[in-house]
Amino acid sequence: MQGFIRNTMLAAAVAGLMSVGAVAQNSGTSSSSTQDSSKSASSAGSSQLSSADQNFVKKAAQGGMAEVELGKLATQKASSDDVKKFGQRMVDDHTKANDQLKQVAQNKGVSLPTDLNAKDQALKDRLSKLDGEQFDRAYMKNMVRDHTKDVSEFRKESTSAKDNDLKSFASQTLPTLEDHLKEAKSIAPKGEKQAKQAMKEKPAAGQTSQQ
């Protein structure tokens, strides 16, 4: 009889321990689940930029990366000192702006592109095949066109961005882009004049040789 009672009590104790373990396990699972949910909510909250702001961030990053790559090309292939200096300025200024944008994007949970898009890569490949004055003209023409578009987009974002950090970045970067555009416009006509002068001199040389 005592053995029966002892066995019954032992079974009850084991069952109690199993019950406590199950409760603890469920509690741990629930806590872990709650933490995961909290992390997910936090992550989702940190990336809540408007679609327009996200689009601007990605386009700005893509354009800035292209400016750096083309600027490096200009320092190697340009024949004009002005174009070489402009290319180096593109590398310096846009690298700085790109780093600032990366920080903003990271804080907002936005992933940025790491490679040139097809259009920018095609432009880089085309410019890589040019040399001297041909490169200078093509590169500076592209710089005027790109910075005209950049200034317009950054000016718009500096007033219409819903995110304050992004609005601040656009406002701070805009004056630099405007200066880039002004400089590009002043350099580009020099290349056009040189090209026109070269075209005038070629027929004259041909006529001289025929005589």
Residue 112 has phi, psi (to 5 degrees) of: -105, 155
So what's the pLDDT on residue 190? 72
**Which amino acid belongs to residue 102?**
K
So what's the pLDDT on residue 200? 58
C-alpha 8/C-alpha 5 separation (Å) is 5
C-alpha 19/C-alpha 23 separation (Å) is 6
**CA 143 to chain centroid:** 18
CA distance to 22, 25, 40, 94, 197, per residue, from 69 (Å): 60, 55, 37, 10, 30
Domain ranges across the chain? 50-200
So what's the pLDDT on residue 41? 39
CA distance to 12, 15, 27, 131, per residue, from 20 (Å): 12, 9, 10, 79
Q: List per-residue pLDDT tens for the chain, 211 residues long.
A: 555 545 555 555 555 545 545 544 555 554 454 444 444 433 444 456 899 999 999 999 999 999 999 999 999 999 999 999 999 999 999 999 999 999 999 999 999 999 999 999 999 999 999 999 999 999 999 999 999 999 999 999 999 999 999 999 999 999 999 999 999 999 988 755 555 555 555 554 445 444 4
| CATH for 50-200 (1.20.1260.10, 3.90.1150.10, 1.10.10.60, 3.30.420.40) | 1.20.1260.10
So what's the pLDDT on residue 49? 86
So what's the pLDDT on residue 28? 52
**Which amino acid belongs to residue 2?**
Q
At a CB cut-off of 8 Å and minimum separation 6, what does 67 contact? 90, 94, 146
